[in-house]
Structure 1
């Protein structure tokens, strides 16, 4: 798969994760004020990239419905063609714009404990947009197994993992996502969150089943884990609890935590342990 197609898929994931499966039928309303344009910041790891930042604009609850075309929405909300930088240890690194609203840090170093500061000028009001976060230490899987879990209604997978948790406080994000030749951009990745209050400094076994998914034999399943900051963990926990709420990300409600000044969303960096599995009978 070419990098252009891959980046297009990743961009779709940023949008689809936020709006797919949670858009209600439109309601007749009048005289609703237009939402002020605001930058929405997201960030992600790719298998070959430490840092990828997505920049989109917010939109109102009346701007999309169950019959909305995701590609049309994507083209409308992407923010492209601006200068975006990340500062680490007093060195500034420009991010490369791939044309799909993603800004990629090809040469941004991975320095555990360092502060990473994102900065650019908002195209809407010309105010500086900034966000800072720290890079937690890398913690990988001690062991990981994925099993097919068939039910009378669908085929799920069970994840059986073990962590060797360090003594300090840690927060974990585990992502489960399928990648097929016929990739369905509306399929939401499953996110499992763990904090180590009950197993701090010990070897911990954890099992979970991915809900709301339907797998088939031959699916390639990507399972990744990252040690993340407490602030980002809290953001993900609220977003997960509200995963059926309208516009969970692009049109984030004001009570969502955010570390972005003059914008919304969340900027974070982490180091992922990524494993691939092919499902067999």
Structure 2
């Protein structure tokens, strides 16, 4: 059992609600006593006392923590590379920042949830590839020999030998969609990125992701497949989710305004043809907007194709365009 006190954010939220209710109540009361100043003063004092007495004090609550499960995410680098991140779920009562006031996930916390001693395999076309754990980045497993076939089913098996946890998942690799054009344009202190691509036949869902390189490494090192657990040199600065149900024609033209960029920055723009299930997963994830919102806002049950765990195993095949603002 975990013993904890109600978070200050919860208390402040309750106080704001009480404040709104009190404001309406106060205005109505004062309307009836507006000509009697002593009575108005007495009413204000009484309401203030009542309001302060309604502020809840921290409560000791016992909650049974949920059993940990494996959480998976996956990435495809065109041609042969498959990357899988494997972590353990954690309770909302745990602090991912370890007393850090920023929203960045701490290194110590990452060490606790990342699965170092995992077994990860990908099976397809009658063969099975065993992914290799990356020693320098716990929880990351990769294969440089996983061949990529359109409409082929890829089966994931992953286990955590320490916690005795196992998950499975199946994903179908969809055909790659490519940008027809990507046109960046500097406007004032922002960057306008316009792009165009041709919609594939049948019903389709797409994701366009924008990354900004944080290090001074070369463009070739821009890790467009990095995620919060890979400690890459990038930060995701935007994401567009598209369904061709809203398209007016087979040629789609979109744009994204990027702020807080410098003339020396390097950006990556990625497009991928994704499944409807992964589209719904990303849409739910996008609405939570970061780790603290996931903990303090209304809970959201993410869609998943993982049996026995959380996350989403996807095999989307991305197209990547690098934008060097030095060349504009």
Which TM-score tier does this pair reach, normalised by the shorter chain? 0.7 to 0.9
Rg larger in structure: 2
CA-CA distance at 1:204 after TM superposition: 1.7
**Deviation readout 1:163-188 (Å, 9 max, x if unpaired):** 11122111111110111326997944
TM-align CA RMSD = 3.0
Equivalent of 1:89 in 111, 115, 125: 125
CA-CA distance at 1:121 after TM superposition: 2.6
Closer, same or farther in 2 for the Cα pair 1:142/1:24, shift >3 Å? farther
Structure (1 or 2) with the greater helix fraction:
2
Secondary structure of 1:169 counterpart: coil
User: In the alignment, which residue of structure 1 is the partner of 2:49?
Assistant: none
**Deviation readout 1:141-184 (Å, 9 max, x if unpaired):** 0111122343xxxx432220111112211111111011132699
CA-CA distance at 1:49 after TM superposition: 6.1
Closer, same or farther in 2 for the Cα pair 1:142/1:279, shift >3 Å? same
- Once structures 1 and 2 are overlaid, which stretch shifts more, 218-227 or 73-82? 73-82
Closer, same or farther in 2 for the Cα pair 1:73/1:126, shift >3 Å? closer
Unaligned residue ranges in structure 2 (runs of 5+):
1-6, 12-57, 218-231
Closer, same or farther in 2 for the Cα pair 1:58/1:26, shift >3 Å? farther
| Preserved CA contact (<8 Å) 1:49 1:104 | no
CA distance in 2, matches of 1:228, 1:258: 14
Structure number with the bigger relative contact order (C-alpha 8 A, sep ≥ 6) is 1
| Preserved CA contact (<8 Å) 2:167 2:308 | yes
Closer, same or farther in 2 for the Cα pair 1:264/1:196, shift >3 Å? same
Closer, same or farther in 2 for the Cα pair 1:268/1:244, shift >3 Å? same
CA-CA distance at 1:39 after TM superposition: 0.7
CA distance in 1, matches of 2:293, 2:154: 27
Equivalent of 1:218 in 246, 250, 264: 264
CA distance in 2, matches of 1:24, 1:225: 40
CA distance in 2, matches of 1:39, 1:202: 39
Secondary structure of 1:62 counterpart: coil
**Deviation readout 1:80-112 (Å, 9 max, x if unpaired):** 122210011221111111122111021111000
Equivalent of 2:277 in 213, 231, 242: 231
| Preserved CA contact (<8 Å) 1:47 1:274 | no
Q: Which runs of structure 2 are paired with 1:185-200 in the superposition (5 Å)?
A: 187-199=235-247
Unaligned residue ranges in structure 1 (runs of 5+):
1-22
CA distance in 2, matches of 1:24, 1:133: 41
CA distance in 2, matches of 1:194, 1:171: 6
User: In the alignment, which residue of structure 2 is the partner of 1:40?
Assistant: 71
CA distance in 1, matches of 2:8, 2:272: 33
TM-score (normalised: structure 2): 0.68
CA distance in 2, matches of 1:125, 1:71: 20
CA distance in 2, matches of 1:158, 1:45: 27
Closer, same or farther in 2 for the Cα pair 1:127/1:34, shift >3 Å? closer
